[in-house]
Amino acid sequence: MAHHPALPPPSGDRALKRIAATWTPRVSMSDDAHVEQPHLARIVDRLAIRGVTMASDVLCRSWLDIAHLADVDRTTAKLLQTEVAQAICPRPQCALDIVKGKRITIPTQIPTLDDSLRGGIHVGHVTELVGPAGAGKTQFCLSLAATAAAPATHNGLETGVLYVDTERRFSASRVLEIARTRLNVTDHQDATSLADRIAVVRTENIEDLRSRVAWLQTSLGVVEGGVRLVVIDSVAAMARCSSKNDAGIPDTETLGVLAASLKRLADVFGVAVVVTNQVASRATSSARVGACDDEDIVAALGIQWAHGVNVRVAMDFQGALAEQRACTAATGLELHRGRQRWLEVAKCPHAHCARVAYRVTERGVEEIV
Amino acid sequence: MADDVLALDVSPSTRALLISAGFRSKSDFLNLAPMDLAAEAHIPLSEASAIVASLRPRALAAPQPLLGAQSALQMLEREETRRHVVTFCRTLDDVLGGGVALGEVTEVCGVPGVGKTQLAMQLGASVQVPARLGGVDGDAVYIDTEGSFMAERFEEMCEGVRRHFARMRGRLGPEAAADADALTTEGMLQRLHYFRAYSHVELVAAVTALPGFIAKCARPVRLVVLDSVAFPFRHDFGGDFAQRSRVLTGLAASLQRVADECEVAIVVVNQVTTKGGRPSGGEIAAAAAAAAGDSGNANSAARVIPALGETWAHCSTSRLTLAWDDSLGESVAPERCATLAKSPRLPTRTAWYSVVADGIRGVKSTSAAVMVGDKRSRDDVAAPAEQ
């Protein structure tokens, strides 16, 4: 199967030759036991001449195609497909084993949210923060980075953090301020090692980020202490920069590939991926940001991206847009400062929807009790 | 040899006709259909059929163009005894004709966060309900392409199922009560087999290897969840839509075959996309309007439709669309609703459901005017067999 040159090969695909090499001279366990696997190995050689070299080439074709290409009968063609499928089929796990395996979470330090998310941001998931400008998304990310990198003696995870800063908003002094006020990291040595554990990458290019993510897979474990948190702030800014059309709509294909590789990274290497997304105003529809009713404000990047994230947390001012419309931009900003901020779990496979009032202080994003 | 035709048990006039048409030996009749013989020898079709039948070797005596055919009556019996996996929401079960049917492919689609994965996990738990409690007592296979399956949440739902039957224990017969006692959360967790597929290749491999896996399972598998089919197929193909639909059609055919031959319910989760308006611009959640029959803002908002296009739309037997229903007004929190959008035998109806700690349940509401079917409290769901 010919792939788009720009796309990475699909995960799990393997060369037929390598699969055939694992076939021992035993009789196949399948129902059609009269065909031996060495015989299949010869068919694999024959297929290679016809340019069929990958498992996906065999699986994504009909057996008719395979029978034609390899000049074999239908039973053999089907058997070949089954054997190849069994070779690259992911190994099943039973749910009990998954429950027993411990999941690491990074606490958000917002009690109600941590409660709702079962401990915080989960390793293995892609969590999205979505909200209007000034809602506190970056503050949330910085707090999270501080918690992840803080020493274990200060309730931190003492793990590496990769912070992809696309809008040049990362502030090391702010991270240390949050660490000092909230986690009580006052010792200079502790603060230095905390800062040392956060690697900040500045990139504005979605293609560049994607190749970095692919590269990360090979070097995540190399970073001292292992990276358990990857923050991308903000993915929307980056996608909007990369978009080719005037409407500011990112190329969904590129975004989809990014979402898929982020998920795989999160899952395989046990990393929590946190991305921030912007909102776009939309004058004519009744769409909503997550579950809270906010007319005319919708998350950017579209519905396909929204499907791609595992958890979505919406951050918002109460009725932000309705009043903003009535004000000039400047007075609107004034209004924002005095208004109640809300944080809400809009999509999550394991949480009940929660709504938390919060404010941004020197201690980062804090719940108002 | 030459007088084979003389030995035929036919009337002399027919024999004469046969001879004049050039028929001499048995071999002349070989591979000749009655129709052709009748035309060639100018004899009635009934006689031609009789001749062909008498000359056929014993093994071929009964030509069977209807081999394997079933009468509609037999089909009716099969349909009436068709088993279902309950959803634990009574109204939703009613809409689905008793639950998600075994032997069929049911597609579930909806906007992000509306509860597709929740419904899928709920089915993974309720498929294990023992037969005497009204269930199908089967294992579940969960093929996850999104990474959204949460074992902890699934555990909670299993616990919800167990608690439900523990509450009903007093109303059950002794055998059913023993079955209810035997349900444990741990046991239920053991009976869900989880596959994590990262790409469409792994997904196709998992589906191709599925019959072999089902055959090897100690207990019968009665449910296969594919959550979701859309995720790998929406970006792995680099714009090669012809290839994509070929692979999708092949996948759908495999799923249909597995559903029918292994008698499992197959639930395929699909995503949604926007159509019309501004193409895929910035819309996130919307349009319960379509499901609720509200056309008020149809011309302004982009329409939300299932992903993967028309090719895929033909692939599922039934299609259930999940959506947010905010037609009750601004002040009321929007409710979740499920509409059966496609079915070979059931009408298009809508059920309202909620996602609670125990899993998928019905909703308690008094606004019956907008409801289809009756609504009951959630303690009522999944009645045992003897009720």
ipTM confidence score: 0.74
**Cβ atoms of residues A74 and A330 within 8 Å:** no
Domain carrying residue B39: 2-59
List pLDDT tens digits, range A152-196.
888 888 888 888 888 888 889 999 999 999 888 888 888 988 888
Question: What letters, b where the CB count within 10 A reaches 16 and e where it falls short, cover A269-283?
Answer: bebbbbbbbbbbebe
H or E element at residue A199: strand A198-201
Residues B368, B235 share a domain: yes
Average pLDDT over residues B262-273: 92
Enter the DSSP assignment of A144: H
Contacts of B240 in chain A (CB under 8 A): 2, 4
What is the pLDDT, as a whole number, of residue B259?
Answer: 92
**Radius of gyration in angstroms for the set of CA atoms belonging to chain B, rounded to a whole number:** 28
List pLDDT tens digits, range B57-95.
655 555 566 767 778 888 888 888 889 999 999 999 999
Do the chains contact at A308 and B189, CB–CB below 8 Å?
no
What is the pLDDT, as a whole number, of residue A134?
Answer: 82
Q: Give A37's contacts (C-beta < 8 A, 6+ positions apart).
A: A23, A24, A25, A26, A27, A28, A83
Distance CA A347, CA A289 (A): 10
Pick from B284, B328, B331 the residue to mutate for testing the A interface (most A CBs within 10 Å).
B284
Angle at A277 between CA A276 and CA A283, to 5 degrees: 160
Q: Which residue has the tokens 């931190």?
A: A156
Q: Is residue B65 part of a domain?
A: no
Residues B269, B128 share a domain: yes
List pLDDT tens digits, range B9-25.
788 888 888 888 888 88
Among candidate residues B14, B32, B59, the one where a domain is terminated? B59
List pLDDT tens digits, range B289-328.
333 333 333 333 457 888 888 778 888 889 999 998 877 6
Residues B316, B177 share a domain: yes
Which member of A92, A124, A300 has the closest CB to residue B195?
Answer: A92
**The one-letter amino acid at A338:** G
Residues B122, B33 share a domain: no
List pLDDT tens digits, range A140-150.
999 999 999 99
Residues B257, B183 share a domain: yes
Pick from B201, B254, B278 the residue to mutate for testing the A interface (most A CBs within 10 Å).
B201
Residues B280, B207 share a domain: yes
Residues B370, B238 share a domain: yes
Residues B125, B39 share a domain: no
Distance CA A114, CA B204 (A): 37
Q: Is residue B64 part of a domain?
A: no
**Cβ atoms of residues B363 and B376 within 8 Å:** no
A102-367 architecture in CATH?
A: 3-Layer(aba) Sandwich (3.40)
Using CA atoms of A19, A25, A28, A33 in order, give the dihedral in degrees to the nearest 10.
Answer: 140
Residues B47, B103 share a domain: no
Beta carbon pairs, A and B, within 8 Å? 260
List pLDDT tens digits, range A230-279.
999 888 877 776 655 544 455 667 777 788 888 888 887 788 999 998 88
**The one-letter amino acid at A89:** C
Q: Is residue B162 part of a domain?
A: yes
**The one-letter amino acid at B38:** A
B357 in contact with chain A, both atoms CB, cutoff 8 A? yes
Q: Is A312 exposed, middle or buried (0-12, 13-18, 19+ CB in 10 A)?
A: buried
Residues B76, B49 share a domain: no
* Spans of all domains in chain A: 16-88, 102-367
The rounded mean pLDDT for chain B is 80
CATH code at position B309:
3.40.50.300
**Cβ atoms of residues B202 and B239 within 8 Å:** no
B370 in contact with chain A, both atoms CB, cutoff 8 A? no
The rounded mean pLDDT for chain A is 77
What is the pLDDT, as a whole number, of residue A223?
Answer: 53
Do the chains contact at B281 and A302, CB–CB below 8 Å?
yes
Residues B235, B147 share a domain: yes
Residues B218, B129 share a domain: yes
**Cβ atoms of residues A44 and B230 within 8 Å:** no
What is the pLDDT, as a whole number, of residue B365?
Answer: 56
Question: At how many degrees (to 10) do helices B151-167 and B116-126 cross?
Answer: 50
What is the pLDDT, as a whole number, of residue B50?
Answer: 83
Angle at B60 between CA B56 and CA B62, to 5 degrees: 100
B376 or B111, which is more confident?
Answer: B111
CATH code at position B54:
1.10.150
Q: Is residue B340 part of a domain?
A: yes
The number of distinct structural domains making up chain B is 2
